[in-house]
């Protein structure tokens, strides 16, 4: 595949994705955008949020607009898609707080710097060597405190993972799953973002992280009698006590979510 970064700047940068999406598929990452990342939007001079590569249906962009309103009523979601036909199909839903535009990783925002960019199931189809360049392209267009969220999830959003990238580079990796949808935390590995999915092998940091989570999950098996939630919270507490740089706390863990600093899993 030719390098997407060599595309002519006058044209959208990237290639069309398969476009598969569906209602509530991105609910887990949206819950993160309106939770740990809510201060980013609240403090933004321009409350612009980009849904990059929204797919064949604008459903997830509409959901994002609605979910952001309680955080910041004047938030504006811009759905960007490289396929003009998808944008044309979405435009009838444009209105207050929501618009759509043809574009790619160059982010055609008329000079506005987004506070947040959600790019889900977009980079998964690209060669891994393209990822750093795409991150650089997007983060150069972020607001000073902006964040790119690059992630992947399964078809119904029960297994998902994402990397938060700030203007300075990647910051964190988050795993999130629906209780009962996995037998152990490492089952989410099949949905690791492109930058990490091929690194889940012995000797790599992300492999060690998943192995530690699995071990803590197995050790917490006696708590299964009290439900998956209590077992997950105990596993997260254990890996933190072991020295892993786990962020947040039980309020997030109880959602089936755990976030670790990027340095702990970086290739």
pLDDT tens, residue by residue, 159-191: 999 999 999 999 999 999 999 899 999 999 999
147 shares a domain with 24: yes
Two structure tokens written together for 105:
């990783």
- Percentage of the chain beyond pLDDT 70 is 96
The token pair that represents 118 in the structure block = 């959600």
With a cut of 80, say whether residue 35 has pLDDT above it. yes
Same domain, 111 and 225: no
Taking residues 45-66, what's their average pLDDT? Answer: 96
Same domain, 142 and 208: no
Contact 106, 87 (CB under 8 A): no
Q: Mean pLDDT across the stretch 23-29?
A: 94
Closest of 120, 118, 169 to residue 140, by C-alpha: 169
pLDDT for residue 16:
75
Q: CA-to-CA distance for 205 and 187, rounded, in angstroms?
A: 17
The crossing angle, in degrees rounded to 10, of helices 205-219 and 228-241 is: 130
Confidence at residue 13, expressed as pLDDT on a 0 to 100 scale:
86
Pick from 27, 18, 107: nearest CA to 59: 27
Q: Where does 140-227 have alpha helices with state H?
A: 194-197, 205-219
Domain boundary among 159, 183, 207: 183
Which secondary-structure segment (H or E) carries 255?
none
Kindly report the CATH number assigned to the domain that includes residue 70: 3.40.50.150
What is the pLDDT averaged over residues 207-211? 98
> Which residue, among 18, 99, 35, 102, has the nearest Cα to 62 in the 3D structure?
99
DSSP state of 168: T
Split at pLDDT 50, 70, 90, the class of 11 is: confident
pLDDT band at 15 (very low <50, low <70, confident <90, very high): confident
Question: Residue 8: is its pLDDT beyond 50?
Answer: no
User: What is the pLDDT confidence band of residue 19, given thresholds at 50, 70 and 90?
Assistant: low
Domain span at residue 40 reads: 4-183
Q: Looking at the whole model, is its pTM more than 0.75? A: yes
Phi/psi region, residue 230 (left: phi>0; alpha: psi -120 to 50; beta: rest), is: alpha
Chain-centroid distance of CA 15 in Å reads 19
Q: Which of 156, 183, 210 is the last residue of a domain?
A: 183
């Amino acid at each position: 595949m030719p390098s997407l970064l060599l595309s002519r700047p006058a044209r959208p940068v990237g290639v069309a994705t398969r476009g598969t999406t569906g209602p509530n598929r991105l609910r887990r990452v949206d819950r993160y955008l309106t939770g740990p990342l809510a201060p980013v939007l609240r403090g933004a001079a321009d409350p612009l949020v980009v849904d990059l590569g929204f797919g064949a249906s604008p459903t997830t962009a509409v959901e994002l607009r609605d979910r952001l309103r309680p955080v910041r009523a004047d938030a504006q979601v811009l759905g960007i898609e490289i396929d003009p036909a998808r944008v044309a199909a979405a435009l009838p839903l444009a209105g207050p707080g929501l618009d759509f535009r043809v574009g790619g990783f160059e982010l055609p925002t008329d000079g506005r710097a987004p506070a947040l960019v959600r790019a889900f199931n977009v980079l998964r189809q690209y060669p891994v060597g393209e990822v750093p360049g795409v991150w650089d392209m997007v983060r150069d267009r972020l607001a000073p405190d902006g964040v790119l969220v690059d992630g992947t999830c399964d078809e119904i959003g029960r297994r998902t993972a994402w990397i938060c990238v700030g203007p300075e580079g990647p910051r964190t990796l988050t795993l999130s799953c629906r209780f009962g949808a996995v037998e152990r935390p490492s089952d989410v590995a099949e949905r690791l973002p492109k930058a990490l999915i091929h690194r889940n092998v012995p000797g790599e940091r992300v492999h060690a992280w998943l192995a530690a989570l699995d071990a803590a999950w197995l050790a917490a098996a006696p708590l299964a009698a009290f439900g998956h939630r209590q077992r997950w919270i105990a596993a997260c507490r254990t890996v933190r006590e072991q020295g892993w740089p786990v962020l947040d706390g039980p309020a997030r863990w109880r959602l089936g979510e755990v976030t670790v600093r990027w340095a702990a899993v970086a290739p």
